[in-house]
Homo-oligomer: A and B are copies of this chain.
Amino acid sequence: LSGAILAVGGAEDKSEKSKILKRFVQAAGGRKARIAIVAAASSIPDKRAASYEEVFRRLGAAEAFPVPMANRREARSPVLAEALGSSSGVFLTGGDQSRLVSILAGSEILHALFQLHRRGGAIAGTSAAASAFSARMIAGGGSGLTLRPDAVTLRNGLGLLPELIIDQHFSQRERMGRLLCAVAREPACLGVGLDEDTGIFCHPDGEIEVIGSGHVFVIAAASESAEPGRRRPFRISGISVDVLSHGERFASSRREGLSA
């Protein structure tokens, strides 16, 4: 039985009231949780990891420890991979998703992360790390609604949530345009735009639950006839949009919103 995966849109509440981080600690075992923190996406990984260490302890985890990892050499370290594997949950911080993927791709650490997931461990990522959970990952793009075929850059991600193309800071940074373009180019994937302090809790059965204070935008190519979005004049057709709030659920396979 694989574990839960939590993808968060960034800027999550870190106070005692935090719905999202508390939910992660709970999924990782609550008072017994041993949380490994991976800050490889960040250009200041030690500082970033230390701040989450303090947060998770404050939220009641038994342990929270950084897995120091600033380059590919460290990501290949069996010792660090074993440390990660000894946790009951892994939290990946924000930063830059391309940096995170370039450090983790093909590494012992990534292997250990997938193994932990398969053993039922909880995995969470915020901001850049949430994007990196995609198999086809949004590596960059413009803001706003101005749509062009090059409005979004897609690269290979970590593939923890391969059916989803995840974007974050979604309303706050006006990312509807680039997510529409991403889904037009990858119509087999479901686009998921996460607002700040908002996330999706992916249950092992494929059901996805919205948590947090903002919205989750779910963007689906309604049919196989979706245009690839590279034509000129540029067009996007056959896209459906749902906007969901805390407590609502949808399924990644059926691509339909379900009421809470």
- Cα(A170)–Cα(B145), bound, Å: 8
- Cα(A170)–Cα(B217), bound, Å: 19
Task: Give the chain B neighbours of A177 by CB distance below 8 A.
Answer: 171
Whether A144 lies near B237 (C-beta < 8 A) is: no
Interface check A206, CB cutoff 8 A: no
Binds B, one of A12-20, A90-98, A241-249: A241-249
How far does the Cβ of A65 sit from chain B's closest Cβ, in whole Å?
36
Binds B, one of A51-59, A70-78, A113-121, A228-236: A228-236
Task: Give the chain B neighbours of A144 by CB distance below 8 A.
Answer: 171, 174
Interface check A103, CB cutoff 8 A: no
Q: With A174-B174, A217-B145, A241-B240 known to touch, is A248 a contact of B222 (CB < 8 Å)? A: no
Q: With A171-B145, A243-B147 known to touch, is A237 a contact of B257 (CB < 8 Å)? A: yes
- Cα(A244)–Cα(B174), bound, Å: 20
- Cα(A174)–Cα(B180), bound, Å: 14
- Contact partner of A241 (CB less than 8 A), chosen from B233, B241, B244, B248, is B241
Whether A145 lies near B233 (C-beta < 8 A) is: no
Whether B236 lies near A241 (C-beta < 8 A) is: yes
- Cα(A176)–Cα(B171), bound, Å: 11
How far does the Cβ of A117 sit from chain B's closest Cβ, in whole Å?
29
- Cα(A235)–Cα(B180), bound, Å: 19
Interface check A34, CB cutoff 8 A: no
The residues in A between 56 and 109 inclusive whose CB is less than 8 angstroms from any CB of B are none
Q: With A147-B215, A241-B240 known to touch, is A235 a contact of B248 (CB < 8 Å)? A: yes
Whether B242 lies near A240 (C-beta < 8 A) is: no
Whether A248 lies near B233 (C-beta < 8 A) is: yes
- Contact partner of A243 (CB less than 8 A), chosen from B174, B215, B235, B243, is B235
Task: Give the chain B neighbours of A146 by CB distance below 8 A.
Answer: 171
Whether A245 lies near B239 (C-beta < 8 A) is: no
Q: With A174-B144, A239-B240 known to touch, is A247 a contact of B222 (CB < 8 Å)? A: no
- Cα(A199)–Cα(B174), bound, Å: 23
Contact pattern, A 127-165, Cβ under 8 Å of B = 1, otherwise 0: 000000000000000001111000000000000000000
A243 to B, closest residue via Cβ: B236
Whether A246 lies near B222 (C-beta < 8 A) is: no
If A144-B174, A222-B222, A233-B246 are given as contacts, then 20 extra A-B residue pairs at C-beta distance below 8 Å, sorted by A number, are A144-B171, A145-B170, A145-B174, A145-B215, A145-B217, A147-B171, A147-B215, A171-B177, A174-B174, A180-B241, A215-B234, A233-B247, A234-B243, A234-B245, A235-B244, A235-B245, A235-B257, A236-B242, A236-B243, A239-B240
